[in-house]
Amino acid sequence: MLMASDYAGPLNIESDELVTINQLVDLAEEIPGVRLKRRHNLHAPRGVAGRNSDNTRIRQVLGWAPGIPSRVGLKRTYAWIYDQLSRR
């Protein structure tokens, strides 16, 4: 829908579900079936516990907001990237 519109400004196109960095790393491991080495710097400044997309603007501009869960979208994106690289 965004690509077919005339809108040229920035818009969030991610699900508005709350996701922590650890949950993103879990997905990054689960989808391709790998284990990543995690290093936590306990002395670094702490940020927010999680992030989610504010989809107010995309609703205003397009009258629509993404509804695909992050897990599903990341699996589809991974499969597409994998297929593209496999063709080379």
Domain spans, the chain: 21-86
Instruction: Give pLDDT tens digits for 5-16.
Output: 999 999 988 889
Task: Flag whether the pTM goes above 0.85.
Answer: no
Instruction: Give pLDDT tens digits for 39-86.
Output: 989 999 988 888 888 999 999 999 998 889 989 999 999 999 999 999
What are the helix and strand counts (H, E) for the chain?
A: 3, 0
The long-range contacts involving 77-86, CB below 8 angstroms and separated by at least 24 positions, are 78/31, 78/32, 82/32
